[in-house]
Structure 1
Amino acid sequence: MSRRGACSCPPRVSTPRTRRCSSPWSPNGRWTTISCTRRRGHRGMRPLARTSPNRAGRPCSATGCRSILGNARRRPSPIASPSAWRLRARRRVLRIGSGPGSGARVPTGTPLPSRNSPASPRAPRTSPCGSRRRCAPSGPRTTSRALPSTTAPTASLPCFSNGQNDMTAHHPPNPDLARELKAIYAQDDGELPDLSSLDQAPRRRWRRFLVRAVLFLGIISAAAWGGFFLWRGLSTPARILAGTIEGSGSVRAGEETTYTVRYRNEGDVPVAQLELSLNLPSAFQVTKTTPAADEGTTWRLGSLTPGSDGAVTVTGWFRAAVPSAQTLQAAFTYRPANFSSDFQDFKSLPVSVDGSVLKASVTGPEKALPGDTVEYVLEVENAGSVALEGVRLLVALPKDFHFLSSQPAPSREGAVSWDLPPVAAGGNATVTMKGSYTASAEGTQAVEARVMLVADVVELAQTAASARTDMLGGTLDFRLLVNGGEDDLTLDSGGVLRVSIPYGNRGSQTVNDVSFRLAAETGGPAAPIDWEKAVGIADGVRTGNVLIWDKTDLPDLAALAPKSEGVIDVTLPMPASFDPKTMSDRFTLTLTAAIKGVGSVVSPRTVSATPLAVLVNSDLVASAEARYFTPTGEPVGRGPLPPKAGETTAYRVYWTLENRLHPLSDIRMSATLPTDAGWIDQKDAAAGTVAFDETTRTVSWTVPAWPEGTPIIQAWFDVVTAPSDADVGSFLKLVNAAGAEATDTLTKARLSRALPEITSELPTDEDAKGKGVVVE
């Protein structure tokens, strides 16, 4: 037995059993018997949905209904919605019948007793039987589910009492339970719904119909597309039109070549709308086609019956570099008679250009002495069957070869090259070139000729040839050295040319009557040399830009004995600035030696040294100054002058750049401020921008490109100082040393200029001169 008031099933009993217990609602505390069974999917036991009479034969108590309440008031699942919980609670309310086919509905709205609500054990109550535990009826048991309503109960449970059915048990309503049920079933307006019947929500048939229709159409579409591709794959002919390209895969540039494109219908059905398009390289020059093309390189061939064939022939030549690779492609477009769509087929032929019909040759002396005039004959031959235009001849000369003349003259000034007239098939073109080797030439010298085919502005290399000449040891040996070297050089305005001419007799006989001639050749204006300040020219004779030394000035040159040597040194300064209208910014130094004979043989000749080109960088000039007054006397500074200890004085700093020769780019001028000077962001520039970096305390002025037609540009900024007592009697440092940089666009040199620091002395300010010392 269990303790009084605990009329329930054990929670974890796995086998069915009958349990006797007493209930606080049982009359006189009599015993009540309940049957416990295991619910499917539940870990514990539950009471069977009926009760049996007690031992005393009195009407049963509401124990079963108590259990019903316990089930009906279970806490809902945390994942269930309120509406689902309400529907679940409704389905747990049972309707109990008293006989076959009939049953009294438990009045709806009956407040069920709570487990925690106080109830007298002897008070007769009518069980609402709203859960799975219910009392047994007197007749055949008929049960059905009923929904609670808000109507008060009017019937009691049919139970066994001394063998008779007693329906008069009455249970007063429980107000706490009524409030709880109202909290569960109440709608938004606070009223309880009519729960006497359960309505089924209408189903959305149109949504199901739409989903099924979409699925059906998707299946039909997939089947249709699958059948289409399957039919197309099975019905595509393996091969109807066969095409080939016949011709040489290795050709020479300029050589006429013929290519034949053949086609044949190998299918069982006719071919309609046959079209052939030839994709030819841009280097291929077409001279003839058979049959004639309908448009460009496209042929509309029409229909082709089964077994029939045809051909298209194209003749032309390649204007291409040697070596190079080219590709010819034929594209066939046709439509079989049993198809409504077009088919395409592509054929290609790779072609290698391995040679050229142009041949080159160079003829010259096998041996030569420095200073001797030599002649080279350059010849270009066309071994092909087509006349060629746009043939260019380039010649690479040795460094120690001095070009004198040619027939015909070079096509471009400053370049040893000739644009030849059209070279006929089997014909040739000839160029004759004259020159001499300088005294520094030695060993084997090679003259190389290269032949080009010009396509627009592109040079396509064809062939090359060269001639070699062995230099014999010259009797007189001399060189031209400038600033220690024999290479071309670039100097700034104001630079110095230190010229050295070492000479000697390497032969075994005396060289008679030697003279040297040094010239600064400009081709127009005077050379930028300050002859008045030149050093070493007193030993020679100057005529304009030419210096000459002979036996009159240097007696040793009258008869230069074997193994004797000598040096002539000259220093040629350049002006710091000059007018480009009167002086040239580029010139060439040339040195030649003339001799009357060697030993007893009188054989006058002239020998040249390797010339040397000199470029003058642009004449960039940078300057910086600080002012308190402008040149017209207008004040641009602020504060006391001279500066006073403990007070602030502002100065204006001007940066000026001058340039006249060449355009400049990437111009930058910068300086740092001392710790005693401050930046007040007062600035301006005629070109470019002025900026200040707070981290590095650097003032910078940048100009991307020098303004065209402007010889002078300027920028300014203000600085302030607040001297202390320790500065009394001294000048204030306003700006540290500055530097200016720029790139010469002609010589490609990076120019740089350095400037000293600026103080409060203000030497260029006439109105503020002598007022730069700090006073108390």
Structure 2
Amino acid sequence: MDSRLEEFEKKLYKPGETEEKKQESYEVYKEEAVGKKWGGWEEGGRPFGQVRRGRGLAIVLLFFFASLAVVGGYYVYTAERPFDQKSVQGDISGPARISSGDEVAFTVTYRNNASVALRDAKIFFTWPEGAVLPDGTPAKEMKADVGMIVPKQEKSVTFKGRMYGAKDQEKEITVSFQYTPETVAAVFEDKRKIIVAIVATPLAITTNAPAQAVSDKEIKIEVEYQNQSDAKFENMELRATYPAGFHVAASDPEPSSDGVWKLGTIEGRKGGKIMITGSFSGAQGETKSLYFEMGVKGANNEFLQYASADSVVSLATSALFVFQTINDSRDYAANPGTSLRYRVRYKNTTNIQIPNAVILARIDESLVDVKTLVVQWGSFDGRTNSIVWNSVGVPELAVLDPKEEGEVSFSVNLKASFLPKNFSDKNFVVTSTARITAAASPESLAGLPLDSEDTLSVKVHTQFSFNETAYYADGLIQNSGPLPIRVGERTTFAISWQLSNTINDVDTIEVTAVVPPNVEWTGVVYPQDANIKYDQNNGVITWKPGKVFAGAGFLTPPKRVDFQVAFVPALVHVGQTVNLVSAANLKATDTFTGLAMERQVPQVDSNLLNSLKRDEGRVIQ
């Protein structure tokens, strides 16, 4: 540093001064340098005002010109030296590698190493495309007014937001710092850029498709997408790329255009699935690849991929092929006690006869009632716990002609109920395996696999109960008023709703009921923090208890809410019972099987579901 500048700073600032104090010292110095008001001091015991006019004027002029010389010297000193932009140093700190959707913070710092102040300093921070602010609004260019930066002072501004992009994509952030040196009229600018790499994305796609398929036979392909972060992703699309020879028969939901689903906003920790039904056409042994990708459209309408997945299906590479359905479906979920009707289709995929074919099927015995097993044309082998079909029951299996196909079947009931014994008793799946083989392979088929196997799963729905009780006494809420109900007097009653659940978590639960206009909602609720609301405009009660976990009512207490209503009867009600709350309706979703459930409990009148003694629920005068 110039020695004259160092000497100037020693005079201007005190040792150990903070940045704020330096700025104050600098302003005080400038004010003092421009001019001071003199007066009130004495010389030789006489007030200054009493000094002879000529001598006093000389002293004032002497001080004025001395101050003017100091200030003028300072400005001449600084004006003669051109401003050096290198004396303004900037820095941007923040992450260089992030996951798409992460909330990030970048701190921009500028230090003034010049001998003059920087006025009207501003920082312009420009986010990359697709970024949003913490409140969810689009992030573009942000401006921060820094104000004045005195010599040796630094100031920082932090910018926060979320950045989105595809994996391995690089995002550019630009920063512009504008300022005017105190001794120059021009505006100076310092521009900087940083690159942030998107190294991961919290979005995931999984596919579930059979490893093998028979040409021109329909199969089901499940595509599931998931947002594994807390950030929401907007304007999302899912696109499918099908191989040659694939024919789409149906999709649930239907795409908005050919192979494109507009998913919209995927909230944090949420997802969904798409079910595609279709068939492949092709040669035996040919492989077919399905490709799925999820992302958004960019500024130039190009597709920015956030996640992808593929699935490879081969066309009947074995000589024998087997394929099973449950209740005419490949994607099936069942209630406890349901009869499962299995159809096992088989085929000789070659142009050669295959003798002595055998079909075997096995099912998870722990979840079915074996006593209900019915096998058509086959038998149950207790040694291997398998169902066996051979030429004894199915003569066609003695010799399978080229391209010959057929079908065998059996049925069995799921167990009537599944009561959890511990917290691991949840999300039950009944798995069945069908296999076809032959005693020997013809010589002409040497090298070609003979056997074929197919596995199929059935998800079991939970048993979800919605129960209701009503009471006057001996409950969680204390009631008051006369029983039997008396004309002109107020009596309160309590209603309780309880939810029990067996083997799967249940979510998106909503219970609604209506309180008649002549019945009062008192606002007394247990527990006090229960998410139950009453709309006084229409009398609707709405209860949203949140997720009810598997085992509620069996391994843990049931989910419950109690609330109170009151009634003041009139003469017109004498001898009658009075309706207090309408029938309550529940809607919910089994999170494992996706089943949408509805339940209902009856209306409650002043008999309190027959829990009172005879005629206590009737109005008397």
* TM-based fold match above 0.5: no
User: TM-score, normalising length from structure 2?
Assistant: 0.43
Greater CA radius of gyration, 1 or 2?
Answer: 1
Which structure features the higher share of strand residues?
A: 2
Higher relative contact order (CA 8 A, sep 6+): 2
User: TM-score, normalising length from structure 1?
Assistant: 0.36
